[in-house]
């Protein structure tokens, strides 16, 4: 586990309004287009300098339960929740820093070989 305070890149936000730039929003949308649950998942915000908010405490975890990728967390609370989830035997994947899109996109659960999960659409 690696933790460090990080700062956001000034080019990511419109300094007059404080909103994300169109370029940044397009990058987030592209990362979240077809999210997986394992090594292929890409968080909308990575725990790296230039992406994480300036007041965050960024942590990157590598877990045997989800091989092949780092888990990007932005606070000590998120880190604690992720660790609890990773230790639970029924958890099969994490989608940290998931962007909620304004359009009606269902959360896809088709990657699992288990019965349909409550609240998910196929």
| CA distance linking residue 33 with residue 44, whole number of Å | 10
Model pLDDT, residue 105: 60
Q: Tell me the C-alpha to C-alpha distance, in Å, between residue 33 and each of 14, 40, 106, 108.
A: 24, 12, 11, 11
Average pLDDT rounded to a whole number, residues 12-23? 67
pLDDT surpassing 50 at residue 3: no
Q: Which two tokens stand for residue 53?
A: 């908010």
Token digits for 56?
């965050």
Task: Using pLDDT thresholds of 50, 70 and 90, give the confidence band for residue 29.
Answer: confident
Give the residue-averaged pLDDT of 47-59: 87
Residue 98: burial class (beta carbons within 10 Å; 0-12, 13-18, 19+): middle
The pTM score is: 0.69
């Amino acid at each position: 586990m690696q933790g460090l305070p990080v700062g956001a890149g000034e080019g990511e936000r419109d300094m007059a309004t404080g909103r994300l730039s169109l370029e940044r929003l397009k990058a987030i949308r592209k990362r979240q287009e077809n999210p997986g649950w394992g090594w292929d998942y890409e968080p909308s915000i990575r725990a790296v300098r230039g992406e994480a908010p300036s007041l965050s405490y960024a942590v990157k975890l590598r877990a045997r339960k989800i091989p092949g990728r780092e888990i990007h967390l932005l606070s000590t609370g998120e880190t604690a929740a992720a660790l609890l989830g990773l230790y639970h035997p029924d958890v099969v994947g994490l989608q940290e820093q998931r962007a909620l899109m304004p359009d009606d996109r269902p959360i896809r659960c088709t990657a699992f070989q288990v019965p349909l999960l409550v609240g998910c659409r196929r």
